[in-house]
């Protein structure tokens, strides 16, 4: 079918959705990035703030750059907190996450974005890098038309309660558990 002849759906009422992508399975960030890709197709503006990742290269970094100027990426994390020979003290991880939260507020209220993705913020909460009232304040006070996506394992029940859409990724099987190292383009 000719792409120009495809029907375009318009909702009767526009609403800024709060979405949570959580669970132990793979694909939470990838799901959020898929939404960013779809949004770019509509010429929407997306801001992604990564709360944990940041000290290790991933193909998504350069992939997102190709979506510029519609997508803006901020790598604010110091890497995985407390695991994998983490060289940084907890206080440094927390300070970075608090800075990321300030940035999230700025971007949320800037009027420049249609979607704000807070990648791994659920993990940051579980690790006590950010506090529950800080996240609930973002959700409760967000502008009515901006979409807010919160990713990461172990989403807090109060965050889930306030969300419009919640998806849980469930691991059935993972190559890593079979002794296969992470693969470029699939895992990072």
- Look up the pTM and report it: 0.92
> Does 188 fall in a domain?
no
Tokens representing residue 25 in the block: 């399975």
- Determine, yes or no, domain membership for 128: yes
Tokens of 108: 């949320």
Say which DSSP state 75 is in.
E
Among the listed residues 138, 156, 121, the one whose alpha carbon sits nearest the alpha carbon of residue 48? 121
In a domain, 6, yes or no: no
- The answer to whether residue 186 sits within a structural domain is no
Helix (H, G, I), strand (E, B) or coil at 98: helix
| C-alpha to C-alpha distance for 88 and 85, rounded to whole angstroms | 9
Tens-digit pLDDT profile for residues 42-66: 999 999 999 987 767 888 899 999 9
User: Which CATH number is 63's domain given?
Assistant: 3.40.50.300
Query: What domain range includes position 62?
Result: 14-170
Number of domains in the chain: 1
Structure tokens at 44: 């929407």
Helix and strand numbers, DSSP H then E, in the chain: 6, 6
Q: Is residue 41 situated within a structural domain?
A: yes
Q: SS3 for 6? A: coil
Residue 26 lies in a domain: yes
pLDDT in tens, 70-127: 999 999 987 777 666 777 788 889 999 999 999 999 999 999 999 999 999 999 999 9
């Amino acid at each position: 079918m000719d792409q120009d002849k495809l029907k375009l759906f318009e909702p009767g009422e526009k609403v800024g959705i709060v979405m949570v992508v959580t669970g132990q399975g793979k694909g939470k960030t990838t799901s959020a990035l898929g939404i960013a890709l779809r949004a770019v197709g509509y010429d929407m503006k997306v801001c992604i703030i990564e709360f944990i990742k940041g000290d290790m290269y991933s193909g998504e970094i350069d992939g997102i750059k190709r979506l510029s100027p519609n997508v803006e990426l901020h790598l604010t994390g110091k890497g995985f907190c407390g695991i994998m020979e983490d060289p940084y003290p907890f206080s440094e991880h927390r300070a970075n996450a608090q800075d990321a939260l300030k940035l999230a507020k700025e971007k949320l209220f800037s009027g420049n974005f249609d979607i704000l993705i807070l990648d791994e913020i659920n993990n940051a909460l579980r690790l006590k890098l950010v506090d529950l009232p800080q996240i609930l304040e973002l959700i409760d006070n967000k502008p009515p038309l901006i979409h807010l996506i919160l990713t990461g394992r172990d989403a807090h029940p109060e965050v889930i309660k306030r969300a419009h859409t919640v998806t849980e990724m469930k691991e059935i099987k993972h190559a890593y558990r079979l002794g296969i190292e992470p693969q470029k383009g699939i895992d990072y």
